[in-house]
Chains A and B, each alone.
Chain A
Amino acid sequence: MSTTLSKPPTDEVILSARGVRKRFGELEVLCGIDLEVRAGEVLCVIGPSGSGKSTLLRCFNHLEKIDAGRIEVNGELVGYEPYGSAGRLRERRPRDIRHQRERIGMVFQRFHLFPHRTALQNVMEGPTVVKRRPRGEVESRARELLDRVGLADRADHYPAQLSGGQQQRVAIARALAMDPTLMLFDEPTSALDPELVGEVLGVMRDLARSGMTMVVVTHEMGFAREVADRVVFMDRGAVVEAGSPADVFTAPRHDRTRAFLSTVL
């Protein structure tokens, strides 16, 4: 358990969001979000249902368009490029957006494994189809990743033959296979039976320890407290409070944070 693989000491900013706004029709879901995540950092996002956590995460890899603000990953504007004068932006070419997504792994609440492919094929899909890497090389790496998430013996199982926890671990391996510089997790354990939550969190903990930069939307306060470097509390589309887990969990400064924590802790 000790620290052979500790985080590389660096202040390189991997993800930055400035003034991100997003509305669905009348409803303003994100009202000016500012965030920064540095290399190797784990940021946990907590907040009540409907506060815009998933939407924010989906903006980070441009699954959702934004109405205002800037999102940069690895120093590159995600989904948009400067256009004309006065800081105007326009959407990038689809191909460029795809290249940006290759470097941002995403893990969904309901796994979304490809049901018609085995665990191994799921993990190999990205590198072979998108990156067009040679199969042999991809396969041995995919087996390595499955081993890393503890599923080496399930390589040839179809998702429906796997438990929820196993499926989610395959999904994590699938995202890792693209060698992302940033991993996004949207409530990765919320669809799991309680006894399966631990195995997924365990994999994520190992991943954090290996230095992966992660943004994790979660309701697992224990995990956030233990693994997060910083915790952000969101409510009604805004960041209400941000800080170290100790600060946010033990000495919350805002009433809304206190109220929320009292319901979940």
Chain B
Amino acid sequence: MRHPAPPAATGAYEDDLALLVTGRPRPGRWIAVLAAAFAAVWLAWTVIVNPNLHWDIVAKYQFDGVILEGLWVTVQLTLISQVVGIVIGVVVAVMQLSDSPVLRTTAGAYTWFFRGTPLLVQLIFWFNLALLFPEISIGIPFDGPKLVSWQSNTLITGFVAALLGLSINEGAYMSEIVRAGIQSVDPGQREAGASLGMSNLRILTRVVLPQAMRVIIPPFGNQFISMLKTTSLVSVIAGADLMTVSQHLYLANFEVIALLIVASIWYLVLTTIASIAQHAVERRFNPAAAPPPLYRRVLGNLRPGRGPKKPAAAKQAARQPEKSVEKSTKSAKSAKGETR
């Protein structure tokens, strides 16, 4: 339970107390740290001095033009499919929560199918769409006249198939995340919006989704980071991403490990940036709940008797709805709220 922050002077007061209260020394922690550090150094050393690992090759390819192009494709694939995935996710989540059984079933079937089959299969399927539909056209259905039509093979390039596969799959996962977020918002909020004459769409965008963000953002961050690496699957359909180009390179020069390291370094760079961004965003949407950064946690745990300090922003947690407003005065009757 959070207590309402006492006014102003908190900071100084806390520090005074900290001077008085000192924790017990924790030798166990120091031993664990030393052991872990030793293991890490030893492992790194065996890798670094390993003559089979060609660091010069790694260095040569790390900023190679081909690799950088692949990196750019990976970034594009991630961003575009994540954005499309969000849009699909919101639409499907809303369908799933609608009154219409048709919409609910459609949405359910979508999530069921695309979460239930391997992404790898889906990617290969989209890439080979031409086998099923040699021609894609817009016009009257059932052999009616066509307005425009394309050869599937020219339309569905590796990149397009990758985007289709990734975003449609991502949409299925996002829809569940968004649904949970929407359901976390008090139904009274929708009624308040409705009583002002707001349309369902307005209620969704101005009232429900902004509040759902608090629940949506953390798993969304995971999805995004996972997407950065999942894009590597598109190497099976010649997606031209970072993994594909690395593969092409090592198939030519047999420097398998070196090029995998090159790719991994880039993936680590991307995921690190994403984690930092995730943190910043989480903090903005829910300052109280976001854990402090890793280095602060580590340092905090090592200092005797001091847990990691709550970020100062936590005091501003005020933006979040408080449950404490539900104080009952009229014994039995107010215990049962007026929303059902």
Contact = CB atoms under 8 A, between A and B. Distances in A.
Contact of A114 (B189, B326, B327, B330): B189
Interface string A226-259: 0000000000000000000000000000000000
A112 B320 contact: no
Given A126-B196, A158-B319, A191-B327, A112 B333 contact: no
B208 to A, nearest CB: 10
A193 interface: yes
Given A63-B191, A110-B339, A191 B196 contact: no
A183 to B, nearest CB: 11
Contacts of B211: 115-116
| Size bracket, chain A contacts | 35 or more
Interface string A178-204: 100000001101111110010000000
A63 B195 contact: yes
Given A110-B339, A111-B325, A164-B325, A98 B334 contact: no
A101 B197 contact: yes
Nearest to A126: B196
A194 B337 CA distance: 17
A110 B325 contact: yes
Nearest to A184: B195
A110 B210 contact: no
Contacts of B330: 190, 219
A244 B282 CA distance: 56
A125 B326 CA distance: 24
A106 B194 CA distance: 10
A49 B327 CA distance: 18
A159 interface: yes
Interface string A118-151: 0000000110011000000000000000000000
B5 to A, nearest CB: 10
A158 B206 CA distance: 16
Given A98-B198, A108-B188, A160 B207 contact: no
B334 A178 contact: no
Given A129-B198, A187-B338, 16 more contacts: A49-B333, A108-B191, A108-B192, A108-B338, A109-B334, A129-B206, A130-B202, A158-B319, A159-B321, A160-B318, A174-B196, A190-B334, A191-B325, A191-B337, A192-B329, A193-B329
Interface of B: 186, 188-189, 191-192, 194-200, 202, 206-207, 210-211, 318-322, 325-330, 332-334, 336-339
Q: Which 10 A-B pairs have the closest CB atoms?
A: A102-B197, A112-B192, A115-B321, A106-B195, A126-B196, A112-B188, A109-B338, A190-B334, A49-B333, A101-B197
